[in-house]
Amino acid sequence: MQLKTETTVGLFVLAALTLFFFMSARLGVINLNKKNYNKYYIYFSDVTGLAKKADVKIAGVKVGWIENIELCKENNVCVEIMVANNYSLNNDAQAFVKQDGILSNRFLEVAPGYSNLKLECGQCFKQVGKQPINFDDLALRLSEISTDIHKITTSMQRVLESNENSIKEMFEQIKNVLISIQENLPSIKTLNSIAQKIDDGKGLIGKMLNETEMYDDVKYTTRKVKSFLERLHDFSVVIDAHTESLFNNCGQNNFNNKGYFNLLLFPSNSYFLLGGATISQQGYASRKIIDKKFFDDNCHKIENEALVPRTCITKVTKDSWAGNLQFGKIFGNAIFRLGMFEGTLGLAFDYNIPFDQNRIWWLTSFEIFDFNGKKRFIRDSRPHLKWLNRFFITKNLYFDFGADDFISHNNKGFFVGAGLAFADEDIRNLFGARL
């Protein structure tokens, strides 16, 4: 019996979701004991970008989370927070909406205050919270600046496309003006010298008026630049940015935020180039051997670098970002990628799962990189395996989920997040002009 397409897709979605929830339960979820936390309320006039379960920090250290956000009377926003009971807040405590970076999630920074009066559990902050920076106004200003730049470049293009007669007429007028000044001011001898040099074809202006070769070179160069820009316009460009919030129950750190920003160039429909960077809250380990020790069979230290060292002293530092540089080959709905993944050599397989609707599709990926585990802080020789799913609900917006480093002893976990993808056509529509 042959299954229908809708039945096949439904079974695949059900199997993938079952696998995702099984791996989530296998890896573990952090359960917070609310009995060890105090509840407080804070009023804001605007909490744009702040969400439930966001971190509450004191001096950059996480001490709780946001329990609830709701709109109150007079268009004020009431935020309910939970703070560990071993951190006390004073009567003059303040709250600020902050963000570590452009790709990071917003969180609530609390200043405990200096008053002698303590803020009891269930009480409200006396001072209104400080609202975040409004990036919409900044984006509007940038859009206005880009419009002005486009107008200037358009005017310059029209000047370069002027024909030869117009340019010669302009320089003839300049020559006539100089001669007129010479006749009216005979005491200025330098004007006569300038006009004579122009007539003799000396200098840039004289050569352009008396010789057509230079003008032809300028015209030829302009035509070549225009042809190059037209070929460049045929390239397809995609800008992709997404976040991943990782949860695990292994090691010392059980939570990590990652931000990915990649630029994809499609010279054709069969392959592409990917370049970008990954920013990690926990960072990446960078190891450097600073000392080697050599011993003989009797365990006596010797100086002989030709031997294999028995012990090595390694210095480990933290890098907050890593680079991505990959080549991708497209075979229908399947994609193979090879190159640098988060600063290490790796490869990946992507498969596009189409739906009947053109605006909704699913892209699942398996990646393997960091084959000797050198980027982990807790050294593990197993390679880094990652299962990533992108579920597009619109052309530009998608949600991502999956399992990260799931064969590692200390770093395995599952993640969820969201992302945006813009093609060059979307960027042109955004700025209201053709690039």
Instruction: For 96-130, give the secondary structure using H, E and C.
Output: EEEECCCCCCEEEEEECCCCCCECCCCCECCCCCE
The listed range with the strongest mean pLDDT (37-46, 49-58, 176-185, 339-348) is 339-348
CA 157 to chain centre: 33
Whether the pLDDT of residue 221 is over 70: the answer is yes
At 388-415, the pLDDT tens digits run: 999 988 888 999 999 998 888 888 888 9
CATH 2.40.160 applies to domain 236-431: yes
Q: For residues 412 and 384, what is the distance between their CA atoms, to the nearest angstrom?
A: 9
Return the pLDDT at 202: 65
Q: Taking all residues of the chain, what is their mean pLDDT, rounded to a whole number?
A: 79
CB 291 within 8 A of CB 312: yes
The DSSP call for residue 351 is: E
For residues 117 and 293, which has the higher predicted lDDT (pLDDT)?
117
Say which residues have a Cβ less than 8 Å from residue 111's Cβ, sequence separation at least 6: 58, 93, 94, 95, 96
Say which residues have a Cβ less than 8 Å from residue 142's Cβ, sequence separation at least 6: none
Q: How many CA atoms lie within 13 A of 102 on its CB side?
A: 6
- How far is CA 168 from each of CA 193, 209, 221, rounded to the nearest angstrom? 21, 6, 18
SS3 helix, strand, coil % of the chain, rounded to 5? 30, 40, 30
Residue 152, token pair as written in the block? 């200037």
- For the chain, the domains span 34-133, 138-233, 236-431
- Sole residue written with tokens 């320089």: 171
- Sole residue written with tokens 């105090």: 38
Q: For residues 351 and 78, what is the distance between their CA atoms, to the nearest angstrom?
A: 44
Q: What is the DSSP string of 19-32?
A: HHHHHHHHH-----
Residue 237, token pair as written in the block? 């460009």
- Sole residue written with tokens 């997404």: 242
pLDDT-derived band at 312 (thresholds 50, 70, 90) equals low
CB 390 within 8 A of CB 406: no
Q: What is the DSSP string of 240-274?
A: EEEEEEEE-SSSS--EEEEEEEEEEEESSSSEEEE
Say which residues have a Cβ less than 8 Å from residue 49's Cβ, sequence separation at least 6: 97, 99, 106, 132
Q: For residues 270 and 274, what is the distance between their CA atoms, to the nearest angstrom?
A: 14
Q: For residues 386 and 226, what is the distance between their CA atoms, to the nearest angstrom?
A: 44
Whether the pLDDT of residue 14 is over 90: the answer is no
How much is the average pLDDT of 216-225? 76
Q: Classify 203 in phi/psi space as left (phi over 0), alpha (psi -120 to 50) or beta.
A: left
Residues 185, 188, 192, 198, CA torsion sign: negative
Whether the pLDDT of residue 330 is over 80: the answer is yes
pLDDT-derived band at 153 (thresholds 50, 70, 90) equals confident
CA 65 to chain centre: 26
Return the pLDDT at 364: 93
Whether the pLDDT of residue 175 is over 90: the answer is no
How much is the average pLDDT of 156-182? 71
pLDDT-derived band at 214 (thresholds 50, 70, 90) equals low
Beta bridge partners of 415: 246, 402
Q: End-to-end CA distance of the chain: give it in Å, rounded.
A: 53
Buried b (16+ CB within 10 A) or exposed e, 40-60: bebbbeebeebeeebbbbbee
Buried b (16+ CB within 10 A) or exposed e, 200-210: eeeeebbebbe
Q: For residues 96 and 15, what is the distance between their CA atoms, to the nearest angstrom?
A: 43
- How far is CA 102 from each of CA 36, 63, 111, rounded to the nearest angstrom? 33, 23, 23
Residue 81, token pair as written in the block? 């927070």
- How far is CA 271 from each of CA 71, 174, 228, 341, rounded to the nearest angstrom? 49, 54, 21, 18
CB 16 within 8 A of CB 403: no
Return the pLDDT at 135: 62
Return the pLDDT at 249: 62
- How far is CA 223 from each of CA 213, 214, 233, 363, rounded to the nearest angstrom? 15, 14, 15, 42
